[in-house]
Amino acid sequence: MLKKNQIFRGTGERLDGQMNGITHADGITVFVPGLLPGETADIRIVKAEKRYAFGRIEALLTESPERRTPPCPCYAKCGGCAGMHMSYEETLRAKQQAVRDVLRRIGGIEAEVPLPLGMEDPYHYRNKTAMPVALVDGKPRAGYYRPRSHDLTPVDSCLLAMPPADEIVKTVLDWMNEYRIPAYDESDKTGLIRHIITRTNRNGQSMVTLAASESSIPHQDELCSRLMTVPGVVSVCLTVNARGDNVILGDSYTVLAGAPRLEDTLCGLSYQLSPLSFFQVNPVQTELLYQTAIRFAALKPTDRVADVYCGAGTISLLAAQQAGHVTGIEIVPQAIVDAKENACCNGIANADFLCGAAEQVLPALVKDGLRPDVILLDPPRKGADPAVLTAIAEAAPDRIVYVSCDPATLARDLKQLTASGYLLNAVQPVDMFCWTGHVETVCLLYHQKKDFIFVPYEPKDAEYLKK
């Protein structure tokens, strides 16, 4: 068995789903951050378990041609990115392999997995950031947590955030310093400002939200006055989380200055966003993701669609433009309010939205006779509830389009769906979170017993989405 601080010489074999290098020593799998396939290094064991271990590069002996100098000074200290030490193309190949591996290992599925649809410029794509605030060297600082910890790494400029975020965060920190506004301390649950949240739309307008432990903000007028002079800022809001947990947003929000909502567009539709609204953080790649999902759905004007875990209705409203009727299901009340308002402001009348847990609402609808032609499934990271998958099998739609943010839970759910009579027809990853280990994946399944003529999807067809 490997021991802590043992040093061995290893060669990178491949990358795991979090961009860690994988090698072996004494028959044990060793995960090594920063090690690329083909590279040889002297590696120190930092943690050893019975079946696996974690290592650290002590000396890099050979370098991969895919290795790059990380452009971010906070790289490896901040837990936000995992792949900036390699070429962007190599990150796409790693994600492709990660999806292929989990489909095989967890789902028992052999599938053709194309490269993820990537970005021409994979920087400054995030329209939303949520930076925790903490006292560092006697001053309030904002940034991101170190990997696998809640130790703050101060970040003055983030290469993934849309540009207004940096100036907004600096403005808030300057205000905190001048008026001695205390940063929240997780250890003793004291202090006031927990997170600085920015959201920027495609027109360059920004909404700023402070997450605080109390509703009373000293020198609030001074803060709002400063923020509203930052170019593009149109709204300042406050949300309160006094529970002491790690959840960023509270259950409600207050408008301190400016507009109560921020308008943004996606795939030609308009959306009114509150601080509590869910909206994908990468608008360019979100359009690719949703266009792929709608393409997979192959909707007809007579189709009845159920959008399970519909959020604020983004995919629902796109589907409603081609289908006969769409029913969205979502457990978050504010998201349902947003979905209904978004349907109204876009003049879409053939979509309705139901608030409740999908594992309760969908089985009840199916029991009452709902038989959709298409089910759109976009669950949270934990995947779909088994009761949802059982209800889908009972409803027996012609086709299922599954949009996933976690390949492992996707593979688990596909295993249940394929055991219920569905065939996996197509897989298309999308690089929504560039330079990180995360990947979105769209899958198409169709019922093998249905009288439905379907033209098989070829991965190269997705090339039109890049144009």
Q: State the SS3 of 242-286.
A: CCCCCCCCCCCCEEEEECCCEEEEECCEEEEECCCCCCCCCHHHH
Please say whether the beta carbons of 281 and 126 come within 8 A. Answer: yes
Three-class DSSP category at 237: strand
For 272, half-sphere exposure in the C-beta direction (CA atoms, 13 angstrom radius) is 15
φ/ψ of residue 414, rounded to 5: -65, -35
Helix (H) or strand (E) holding 164: helix 164-179
Q: Angle 164-179/220-227 helices, nearest 10 degrees?
A: 150
Q: How far apart are CA 135 and CA 152, in angstroms?
A: 9
Q: Is 434 a catalytic site residue?
A: no
Taking alpha carbons only, the member of 68, 73, 62 closest to residue 85 is 68
Beta strands in 138-183 (DSSP E): 139-145, 152-154
User: DSSP 3-state helix, strand, coil percentages of the chain (rounded to 5)?
Assistant: 25, 30, 45
φ/ψ of residue 226, rounded to 5: -70, -45
Residue 204 tokens read as: 């360059």
Q: What are the angstrom distances between the C-alpha of 23 and each of 6, 15, 110, 390?
A: 15, 9, 24, 40
Q: How far apart are CA 107 and CA 109, in angstroms?
A: 5
* DSSP state for residue 214 in the 8-state scheme: S
Q: What are the angstrom distances between the C-alpha of 284 and each of 98, 280, 290?
A: 23, 10, 10
Three-class DSSP category at 114: coil
For residue 100, the one-letter residue type is R
Catalytic residue among 237, 405, 434, 443: 405
Please say whether the beta carbons of 132 and 144 come within 8 A. Answer: yes
Q: How far apart are CA 92 and CA 432, in angstroms?
A: 11
**Centroid of chain to Cα 117:** 15
Please say whether the beta carbons of 265 and 202 come within 8 A. Answer: yes
Tokens 């909502």 — which residue?
A: 261
Residue 290 tokens read as: 């949703």
As annotated, the active-site residues are: 405
